Amino acid sequence: MVDLYTPEGIDILGNLIECNPDSPNQRFIGPIEVFAKLLVGYATVPLDKYHLAPSALEHFETASRDPAFYMILKRVVLLFQRYKSHLPPYTQKELSFPGVKIEDIKIDKLVTYFDKFESDVTNLVQLTPEEVKKDNVVIKVRQDRLNHKPFTYKIHVSSKTDQDATVRVYLGPKTDEYFRELNLQENRMNFIELDNFKYTLKAGSNVIEKSSSDSYWFIPDKTSMRDMIRKLTDALQGTAVDIDAFEAFYGFPNRLVLPIGRPEGFTFQLLVCLNPYKTPTVQTTQQPTTYYFGRVGTGMNYVDNYAFGFPLDRIMEDDALNVPNCMFKDVTIYHKEDINSSASGDNAV
């Protein structure tokens, strides 16, 4: 019998659902997400292990554009939420941080726009070495991509003592499609975590300043194939090459930090919570903590020992978030069409 209602219960459930090597019974319970993609994607039975015919749901490039992909992921998330629904709701005492109060939140004007971006797809065309030498053609694809103007926010905090804190920043909708204000209990799953970091508070007033490009969850565009070949050629010729060793293997595009706004403004809610810092009790990565996402075999970066999505991961008692260390702030996101597009480059889509 495996007890899921322990501090490690969510990890056990995650291993069961994903069928990780740490799963209690890997042979009995298969990977739900993998089988769902095979079933919904109408993947054919492979002739052998060398002749596979993956469906559109099994390619990252096409899956992210398929509504069925998000339906499957939502079903997996609901499995975790069903488990969370059996846990006791958060109380005001659990969410409080004695001696700490958020005085104010200030944020720059939030503006989104569509960027004319060019992607180098020359490597998709098969050319012989002779053709490459004869005609050095560069093939690019231009597309509109959602982007946003860089912004910063400042959190003004007062603390009675010197202490470490964990700062979490969430962004979520304020109303439904009929402009009716949403209750937090039914709206908590619609919030996106923009940032999560450790901060050392000093006694007195503190100003926590963060940029939209500093979040662990979001990454810049990938290095293009042309840039990689250029760096490789320079290295072979003995030229010093600056290699970005901290490039994440995966992550959410930084340009999609904000949802698309409206010309007249689109109101959202910013939620900021400060909680006492708890040292992680799980394995941490051995690589520099530039991103949360670790490389294979290096572990993961954990900011603290709170649950993922805390405190919005579980239902909570009424007014549980009515504490000085948490604050909601209405923010307005505008969308502009006349902003000059950013510099086009060779980065991948």
Lowest mean pLDDT among 88-97, 164-173, 260-269, 338-347: 338-347
pLDDT(156) > 80: yes
Instruction: Provide the pLDDT for residue 347.
Output: 40
pLDDT, average across residues 111-130: 82
Instruction: Provide the pLDDT for residue 286.
Output: 46
Instruction: Provide the pLDDT for residue 276.
Output: 96
Asked whether the domain spanning 91-335 has the same topology as the one spanning 1-87, the reply is no
Alpha-carbon distance 240 to 244, whole Å? Answer: 13
Lowest mean pLDDT among 68-77, 133-142, 239-248, 321-330: 239-248
187-209 tens-digit pLDDT:
999 999 999 999 999 999 999 99
Query: What does the chain come to in residues?
Result: 349
Sheet holding 163-173, edge to edge: 140-148, 110-120, 326-335, 266-276, 163-173, 192-201
Please name which of 100, 262, 112 lies closest in space to residue 179, comparing C-alpha atoms: 262
pLDDT(326) > 90: yes
Are β-strands 266-276 and 110-120 bridged in parallel, bridged antiparallel, or unpaired? unpaired
pLDDT, average across residues 117-127: 79
Where do the structural domains in the chain lie, given as residue ranges?
1-87, 91-335
pLDDT, average across residues 330-349: 66
Tokens of 176: 């439904």
Which are the contacts of 191, defined by CB distance < 8 A and separation ≥ 6? 170, 171, 172, 269, 271, 312
pLDDT(246) > 90: no
Lowest mean pLDDT among 136-150, 152-166, 167-181, 266-280: 136-150
Average pLDDT of the chain?
85
Lowest mean pLDDT among 187-191, 238-242, 260-264, 265-269: 238-242
User: pLDDT band at 341, cuts 50/70/90?
Assistant: very low
CATH 3.40.50.720 for domain 91-335, yes or no, is no
CA angle centred on 248, ends 247 and 249, rounded to 5°: 120
pLDDT, average across residues 107-118: 93
Tokens of 205: 């007033």
Instruction: Provide the pLDDT for residue 187.
Output: 93
User: pLDDT band at 283, cuts 50/70/90?
Assistant: low
pLDDT(141) > 70: yes
pLDDT, average across residues 317-325: 93
User: pLDDT band at 346, cuts 50/70/90?
Assistant: very low
CATH 1.10.1280.10 for domain 1-87, yes or no, is yes
Query: What's the predicted TM-score (pTM) here?
Result: 0.83
pLDDT(242) > 80: no
3 state SS for 248-302: CCCCEEHHHCCCCCECCCEEEEEEEEEEECCCCCCCECCCCCCCCCCCCCCCECC
